[in-house]
Amino acid sequence: MDLPIYLDYAATTPVDPQVAHLLIQHLSRGGVFGNPSSATHPFGQAAARAVEAARVRVATLLNADPHEIIWTSGATEANNLALQGALRICAHQGRHLITSKTEHKAVLDVCRRLERDGCVIAYLDPDPNGLIPPDRVAAALRPDTVLVSLMHVNNETGVVQDIATIGQITRQRGILLHVDAAQSAGKLPLDLQTLPVDLLSLSAHKLYGPKGIGALYVRQRPHRVRLEPLLYGGGQERGLRAGTLPTHQIVAMGKACRIASENMAVEQARIRALRDRLWYALAALGDVLLNGHPDDNVAGILNLSFTGIAAEALLTAIPEIAVSTGSACTSAGNEPSHVLRAMGCDAVRARGAVRFSLGRFTTAEEIEYTAQRVSAAIHRLRKLSPLWELRQRGLDQRVVDWAAVP
């Protein structure tokens, strides 16, 4: 087993070796390096064929039509295109958007920008377990609502939203539903023939593809979703996203999606078993709180607060294990996680939250090692922690009170 151990797959994944191999074949002379828009010669034609084959693979992962896939630079751009694009083109119908307080910053920051443009945004509260009840979405709908945007799997807690039920509500009312699926694609089955979702964001680097490439699914049937583009230029992607297509990135994302399609069920079962082993081992420490939903969760994420221990103290104590406090994007700032705060966690619990995220290359040995090292660190830190000391005394006091009752 190699150290350090990587348990931060929710922040990004290493590129699968098969994907990296294919990527390199689409870069240099002798490989498929042409501009896919150069339709007049074999270099461009080969690149265009490679791009379209990759589009089929991404569409297959979603059971969608290849025409419904628009390449972007990642899920951040896909979210921007979905939200800004839909609100701008629907401005005459209304300017009301519904989202939740537990979204990724790549949705929340877009919402802030739209508010400055005069849009009105409803930010829904989740239940304490992180779920957004579909009837809360229904209750927030207004005659001028044009879009609902909710993530499928939360990147901090792994909670899975009921997008099928929420989609039935929006579909009935003729309102668009956008889903940020960066954390669910390749991990949970997605069937857009049956799911009433209109726009869906993907990111390759969360599913063993490279950084800097993603896609937006834009529904064409039974109704065609229209968007105002963010970028203007060469008219690529049916005018929705100008810019020379990065063939190597696209081909790599296609391969990553194909591997995910083929291995998803087996891989997720294996990861879930490892994750549960880690959870049982750490829960045995006592006073460990699970941040998230006990059942409606994705296999690879385990978000825990160890009572009495700040997350930074634990991370410092286990330098050879790469985990994250909150999400990678917000841990740069020293704010407690907005997701956990929205779920009603107090500031101490939110600041104590540590996210373990497992993936394709996580081994049983790594999980055993992590369980042992974290357990030892928690024992040691709790001995030193004034918070823990107080709590233990508090508990002792209650036992004394109880024993004194005649």
Ligand X SMILES: *Cc1c(COP(=O)(O)O)cnc(C)c1O
Q: Give me the least distance between CB of 254 and ligand X, in Å please.
A: 16
132 near ligand X, rule: CB under 6 A: no
Q: Among residues 34 and 126, whose Cβ is nearest to ligand X? A: 126
Beta-strand pair 353-357/301-306: antiparallel
Integer Cα distance of 316 and 384 in angstroms: 14
257 assigned to active site: no
Nearer to ligand X, 46 or 200 (CB): 200
User: Is residue 13 near ligand X by the rule CB under 6 A?
Assistant: no
What is the Cα–Cα distance from 296 to 191, expressed in whole angstroms?
Answer: 18
Does the protein bind ligand X through residue 180 (CB under 6 A)?
A: yes
**Residue 300 makes contact with ligand X by CB under 6 A:** no
How big is the site for ligand X, counted in residues (CB under 6 A)?
Answer: 14
Instruction: Rank residues 189 and 235 by Cβ distance to ligand X and give the closer one.
Output: 189
Closest by Cα among 367, 344, 345, 365 to 357: 367
Smallest gap from Cβ 210 to ligand X, in A, equals: 10
75 binds ligand X (CB under 6 A): yes
Residue 143 structure tokens:
């005659």
Interface residue with ligand X, options 170, 183, 249, 291 (CB under 6 A): 183
Nearer to ligand X, 104 or 382 (CB): 104
145 to 99, 121, 217, 293, 370: CA distances (angstroms): 11, 9, 21, 29, 47
Pull the structure tokens for residue 276: 């549960």
Q: Note whether 80 binds ligand X by CB under 6 A.
A: no
Residue 253 lies near ligand X (rule: CB under 6 A): no
From the list 175-183, 244-252, 267-275, 292-300, the region that binds ligand X by CB under 6 A is 175-183
* Least distance (Å) between residue 215 CB and ligand X: 10
Catalytic residue among 90, 119, 329, 345: 329
Question: Rounded to an integer, what distance in angstroms lies between the CA atom of residue 148 and that of residue 121?
Answer: 10
Q: x-or-dash pattern for ligand X, window 211-240, by CB under 6 A? A: ---x--------------------------
Please identify, among the stretches 13-21, 62-70, 200-208, 377-385, the one whose residues bind ligand X according to the rule CB under 6 A: 200-208
Separation of alpha carbons 79 and 281, rounded Å:
37
Q: In terms of Cα–Cα distance, which of 175, 186, 182 is closest to 77?
A: 182
Q: Which residues pair with 356 in a beta bridge?
A: 302
Stretch near ligand X under the rule CB under 6 A, chosen from 118-126, 140-148, 201-209, 349-357 = 201-209
Which of 15, 36, 68, 76 binds ligand X (CB under 6 A)? It is 76
DSSP state of 67: G
- Rule CB under 6 A: which of 140-159 touch ligand X? 151, 155
Question: Which CB, 183 or 297, lies closer to ligand X?
Answer: 183
State how far the Cα of 161 lies from the Cα of 129, in Å rounded to an integer: 11
Q: Inter-axis angle of helices 364-384 and 247-283, to 10 degrees?
A: 50
As given in the structure block, the two tokens for residue 13 are: 């994944």
Q: What are phi and psi of 198, to 5 degrees?
A: -100, -35
AA letter at 164: A
The closest of 328, 329, 331 to 310, measured between CA atoms, is 331
Q: Is the peptide bond before 134 cis (omega within 30 degrees of 0)?
A: no
Q: Which of residues 92-131 bind ligand X (CB under 6 A)?
A: 104, 106
Q: Looking at the annotation, which residues are catalytic?
A: 329
Q: What does the binding site for ligand X look like in residue numbers (CB under 6 A)?
A: 74-76, 104, 106, 151, 155, 180, 182-183, 203, 205-206, 214
